């Protein structure tokens, strides 16, 4: 793997400069031409779709590097498995936070490694790419995505808002003269959009998502049981036994960690209702944002949304009962897309397959 410059975060003082960049570009290696691609660069997961092939990569947005040599040691699944188990000389980071790029250099390094996994990049053959971004991010945040993509080897770039990509991926007819609401609950951000006639009638985001729920659970375990658990363990407990509303059939989940006071290893049996309570705050914030979107939407469109239901996508929407919780507060039923984790990339991929047809949906 390659080497970081050391300009990222606090790692600067450990810098040990090496010249070669990550994942060396190599034109037409093995006679292989670069394929145009679609990318969903998410806080929790990065997904890549190649034209004519479909989804080719789905891995956590995580990078592990040596803080002394700045060498990138692992990205994706392997790097995520290091979380909570690293020695002092290794740092594991998520370069995106709340849906936007927090560390430019590490994001670029991660993208280059992922590109290298799926295709051999050529300097002379820069692929076109469609990349999705959260709805309503600032121009500065948008520019960061453009910079990260272009400096990682992408040629012509098209940007699309995540909820529009989600709507296309969920198979909605976005051309209709009818209000349709999409709520994409990701790891670090929830995008809410009302679409009509292939355009956005309303869009906004809140910096709350599935990772916020895992973090809340971790904090709850620490404050109520004086027990420290790893990030991955908290997420596992949330997925195994968490829900937004009471659900039948859920059983307690045993989480392992250490006593915060004595550092002695311990396990804890977490009943589903305790997990549910611990994650209520971010769920309430998401519901409040849906309310705010309805407030700003014209009455006829609200009627359309009530008739069709709200479309839920994103990994965070896989939390049991989240649609019911939204329905309980808004009186509008929810439809969960069939593959919530890949709806956005599938929609982004569809636009890549027909750039001309989808021209009007790009930013």
Ligand X SMILES: Nc1ncnc2c1ncn2[C@@H]1O[C@H](COP(=O)(O)OP(=O)(O)OP(=O)(O)O)[C@@H](O)[C@H]1O
Let me know: does 257 contact 244? Beta carbons within 8 Å.
Answer: no
Stretch 96-125: interaction string toward ligand X, x if CB under 6 A: ---x--------------------------
**Contact track, ligand X, 240-279, x by CB under 6 A:** ----------------------------------------
Which of 210, 272, 282, 323 binds ligand X (CB under 6 A)? It is 210
Binding partner of residue 169 among Mg ion, ligand X, none, CB cut-off 5 to 8 Å per kind: none
- Look at residue 201 and give its three-state secondary structure: strand
Q: What is the largest CA-CA distance in the chain?
A: 62
From the list ligand X, Mg ion, none, partner contacted by residue 233 (C-beta under 5 to 8 A by kind) = none
Contact status: 42 vs Mg ion (CB under 5 A): yes
Smallest distance from Mg ion to CB 215, Å? 17
Of the residues 189, 206, 241, 250, which one makes contact with ligand X according to CB under 6 A: 189
- The span from the CA of 28 to the CA of 33, in Å, is 6
Q: Which does 210 bind (CB under 5 to 8 A by kind): ligand X, Mg ion, none?
A: ligand X
**What distances in angstroms separate CA 201 from CA 195, 230, 301, 350, one per listed residue?**
5, 41, 9, 22
Question: Which of 8, 45, 330, 351 forms a contact with ligand X (CB under 6 A)?
Answer: 45
Instruction: Kindly tell me which residue out of 95, 186, 257, 321 binds ligand X, with binding defined by CB under 6 A.
Output: 186
- Rule CB under 6 A: choose which of 105, 161, 235, 274 binds ligand X: 235
Interface of this chain with ligand X, residues 280 to 319, rule: CB under 6 A: 314-316, 318-319
> Site for ligand X (CB under 6 A): which residue of 239, 245, 247, 355?
239
In the bound complex, what is the minimum distance in angstroms from residue 353's beta carbon to ligand X? 21
- Give the number of other Cβ atoms within 10 Å of residue 268's Cβ: 17
Cα-based distances in Å from 256 to 193, 218, 267, 270, 360: 39, 12, 4, 10, 50
DSSP run (H or E) holding 313: strand 310-313
How far is it, in rounded angstroms, from Cα 8 to Cα 15?
Answer: 10
In the complex, minimum distance from the CB of residue 173 to ligand X, in angstroms, rounded to a whole number:
23
Beta strands (DSSP E) in 61-136 are 63-66, 72-75, 90-93, 96-97, 100-101, 129-133
Please name every residue paired with 257 in a beta bridge, in sequence order, or none if there are none: 266
Residue 214 in contact with ligand X, rule: CB under 6 A: yes
Dihedral sign computed on CA atoms, order 73, 102, 110, 4: negative
Q: Is 146 exposed, middle or buried (0-12, 13-18, 19+ CB in 10 A)?
A: middle
**Minimum distance, C-beta of residue 133 to Mg ion, in the bound complex (Å):** 10
Q: What x-and-dash track marks residues 161-190 binding Mg ion by CB under 5 A?
A: -------------------------x----
44 binds ligand X (CB under 6 A): yes
Binding at 118: pick from Mg ion, ligand X, none (beta carbon under 5-8 Å per type): none
| Residue of 233, 224, 228 lying closest to 253 (CA atoms) | 233
Of all helices (H) and strands (E), which one includes residue 48?
A: strand 45-50
Which residue number, 47 or 70, has a Cβ lying nearer to Mg ion? 47
Q: Would you count residue 188 as binding ligand X (CB under 6 A)? A: yes
The residue assigned the tokens 């370069």 is 95
Report the interface residues with ligand X, using CB under 6 A: 42-45, 99, 186-189, 209-211, 214, 235, 238-239, 314-316, 318-319, 341
Report the interface residues with Mg ion, using CB under 5 A: 42, 186
């Amino acid at each position: 793997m390659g080497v970081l410059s050391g300009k990222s975060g606090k790692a600067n003082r450990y810098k040990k400069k090496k010249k070669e960049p990550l994942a060396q570009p190599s034109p037409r290696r093995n006679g292989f031409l670069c394929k145009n691609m679609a990318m969903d660069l998410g806080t929790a997961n990065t997904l890549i779709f190649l034209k004519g092939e479909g989804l080719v990569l789905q891995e956590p947005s995580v990078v592990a590097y040596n803080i002394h040599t700045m060498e990138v040691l692992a990205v994706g699944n392997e790097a995520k498995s290091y979380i909570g188990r690293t020695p002092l000389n290794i740092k594991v980071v998520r370069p995106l936070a709340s849906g936007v790029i927090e560390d430019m250099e590490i994001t670029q390094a991660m993208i280059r490694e992922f590109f290298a996994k799926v295709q051999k990049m050529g300097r002379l053959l820069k692929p076109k790419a469609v990349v999705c971004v959260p709805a309503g991010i600032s121009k500065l945040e948008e520019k960061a995505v453009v910079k990260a993509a272009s400096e990682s080897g992408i040629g012509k770039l098209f940007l699309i808002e995540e909820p529009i990509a989600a709507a296309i991926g969920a198979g909605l007819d976005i051309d209709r003269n009818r209000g349709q609401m999409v709520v994409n609950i990701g790891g670090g951000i929830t995008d809410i959009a009302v679409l009509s006639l292939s355009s956005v009638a309303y869009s906004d985001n809140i910096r709350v998502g599935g990772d916020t729920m895992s973090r809340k659970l971790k904090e709850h375990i620490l404050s109520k049981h004086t027990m420290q658990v790893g990030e991955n363990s908290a997420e596992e407990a949330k997925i195994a036994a968490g829900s937004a509303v009471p659900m039948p059939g859920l059983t307690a989940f045993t989480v392992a960690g250490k006593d915060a006071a004595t550092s002695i290893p311990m396990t804890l049996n977490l009943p589903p209702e305790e997990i549910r309570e611990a994650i209520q705050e971010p769920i309430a914030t998401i519901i409040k944002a849906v309310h705010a979107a309805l407030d700003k939407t014209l009455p006829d469109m609200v009627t359309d949304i009530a008739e069709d239901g709200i479309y839920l996508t994103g990994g965070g929407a896989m939390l049991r009962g989240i649609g019911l919780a939204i329905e309980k507060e808004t009186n509008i039923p929810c439809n969960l897309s069939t593959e919530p984790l890949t709806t956005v990339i599938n929609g982004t991929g569809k636009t890549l397959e027909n750039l001309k047809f989808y021209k009007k949906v790009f930013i």
